[in-house]
Structure 1
């Protein structure tokens, strides 16, 4: 049996092979990093999501004679502006649970 003898690469060829290997290593590491980033983003979204919001019916009682002037949202809060007998009042509610989170009253100085 005769064995095929592979000639030794020249110095230029060896430098070219080393450069190609280095470029392939960089490309492989970049691809691995990109795939890991995508998997981390998908995992974060899956485990961070709180699911769909459950529909709830809430009845909020207003003071006698009060009327709603304006409503709005601010981030994850529902903001309701009331006029209570000439006095302005702002009430905030959590948008997901509709629980009251704060109340701000404005009065005129005497």
Structure 2
């Protein structure tokens, strides 16, 4: 069967085998932690996402004589720059619901 003389390890070989086992354990734990982190990130994204909102038809009224100068997006806000009677105004809307979120008016100092 097996020769007992060959199955016995020398102290140096036993020490090397212990080091290899320890390194394999560290590598296995590191890999397991990495895989767990990926699953946690995927789960977080799945359960945290609000999904896509249905398209909304919204009509925003502008003051008479107002002119849209530019539009843009900043984070989760839709920004519309208006020129109203010579003054500049920025209106912010929530990008998901399109509800007004704020207004910033610019006026020249007298």
Q: What TM-score does the superposition give when structure 1 sets the normalisation length?
A: 0.89
Separation in 2, partners of 1:23, 1:60: 65
Separation in 2, partners of 1:66, 1:4: 95
Spell out the pairing of 1:1-110 with structure 2 (5 A cutoff). 6-7=4-5, 8-110=8-110
SS across alignment from 1:81: strand
Give aligned pairs, total: 108
Residue by residue over 1:49-88, the C-alpha shift from the partner in whole angstroms, topping out at 9 and shown as x without a partner, is 1111210001111111111111111111111111111111
Residue by residue over 1:3-33, the C-alpha shift from the partner in whole angstroms, topping out at 9 and shown as x without a partner, is 8673432111111111111111111111111
CA RMSD of superposed structures (Å): 1.6
Which stretch of structure 1 is more off in the superposition, 74-83 or 7-16?
A: 7-16
Residue by residue over 1:85-106, the C-alpha shift from the partner in whole angstroms, topping out at 9 and shown as x without a partner, is 1111110111111011110111
